[in-house]
Amino acid sequence: MLRRVSRREEGPPPAAGRGAAKQASTFGVALLTAYESLVISGDIRRHQGKTIFISGAAGGVGHFAAQIAKLHGLEVIGSAAKAASLDLLRQLHVDHIVDYSRQDVVREIREGFGPW
């Protein structure tokens, strides 16, 4: 059952809350960087249906870039290595995930998406 809690009972915000706020404060520039690169400079709207490779696709900029590319109808190949990063790419429904610590990224892309 819900009940009102006074500020005194609540105590300080949990540490996870403070961490989340710090993390969130980095999102703006990272999102704008991805947006500027893909939408403004890259004019991604003209590339619907094509395939894009995003290195570091689970990183601060990369995870926004992957989502922007998918929103614009591109097929996304994303690379990452850490387990949490690979997990994030699966959660973001990145189409093709390359683990750069185990796979040869260039060969994977050439063989999967060539003719080059």
- Binding map of ligand NAP across residues 46-65, x = CB under 6 A, - = no contact: ---------xx-xxxxx---
Rounded CA gap, 25 and 67, in Å?
19
> Measured from the CB of residue 79, what is the shortest distance to ligand NAP in angstroms?
6
Q: Tell me which residue has tokens 């690169």.
A: 37
Count residues binding ligand NAP (CB under 6 A).
16
Nearest to residue 63, comparing CAs of 89, 86, 90? 89
Nearest to residue 48, comparing CAs of 56, 59, 39, 40? 39
- Of 30, 35, 75, 96, the residue at the interface with ligand NAP (CB under 6 A) is 30
Helix 62-71 × helix 27-35 angle, to 10°? 50
Choice between 14 and 104, CB closer to ligand NAP: 104
Please choose, out of 7-15, 45-53, 73-81, 107-115, the segment that lies near ligand NAP by the rule CB under 6 A.
73-81
Residues that bind ligand NAP (CB under 6 A): 29-30, 33, 55-56, 58-62, 79-82, 85, 100
